Amino acid sequence: MPRRGLRGMYISKRALREQFDPRTYPNETYLLCQLQWGGRGRFWIHWARNDEIKDCHVEDYFLEQIFELRSSSICEITWYLSWSPCASCCDVIQEFLEEQQNVHVDIRVARVYNEHVRENRAALWQLAHFPGAAIRAMDVEDYRHCWDTFLQRGGYFDFTAGSFRSAVERTRLKLEDILGNLHF
């Protein structure tokens, strides 16, 4: 997607590299957001991370503190998350979508958060099957899109998804197992 028509906040190259490399396990979650009202016009971009002061997960923080209802038109939101939502955040997202039925959220994740915890697995499955929500693992094209969209231009940036393709594939397989499995 061309950068023309984008407006919003850019993330640092260092933060993108440290937070979205699926071979590492940072203690916080970053959210990169692309939002568009009415299916046309400009995209708005933004990024956020967990709010440690308010002890707030980034998904809840974004929906409570950043998102503004600006129109009754359809709103398409794409989130690129460094970690998949926990069970509590899946509930918050579902509650938000129940209230804002004109909003669709497409969630793409770099890693699966505590996939061995039954509650997290069940909540991800429920969210993926909830009207207005979609969830999947980030793929190589998603990483390229993030590099092109959420970073300011200029300078050399040596961080391509090709260098961690096997970790991307492991995340995809983990998430597909969760989303395709009714029994946890």
Cα–Cα distance between 29 and 3 in angstroms, integer? 25
| Strand 103-109 to 75-81 pairing | parallel
Q: Which two tokens stand for residue 164?
A: 């961690």
Give pLDDT, residue 1: 37
The third-level CATH classification (topology) of the domain covering 6-179 is Cytidine Deaminase; domain 2 (3.40.140)
Give pLDDT, residue 30: 93
> Whole-model pTM?
0.87
Query: In the chain, what are the domain boundaries?
Result: 6-179
Residuewise pLDDT in 10s, the chain (184 residues): 334 344 457 888 888 888 999 999 998 999 999 988 876 667 888 888 886 666 789 998 888 888 876 666 788 999 999 999 999 999 999 999 999 988 999 999 999 999 999 999 999 999 999 999 999 999 989 988 888 888 876 655 555 666 778 888 899 989 999 998 765 5
59 catalytic residue (yes or no): yes
Task: For 117-140, give one letter per residue: b (16+ CB within 10 A) or e.
Answer: eeebbbbbbebbebebbebbbbbe
Task: List the helix and strand counts (H, then E) for the chain.
Answer: 6, 6
Which one, of 60, 111, 52, 56, lies nearest residue 81 by Cα? 111
Q: Which of 59, 68, 95, 115 is catalytic?
A: 59
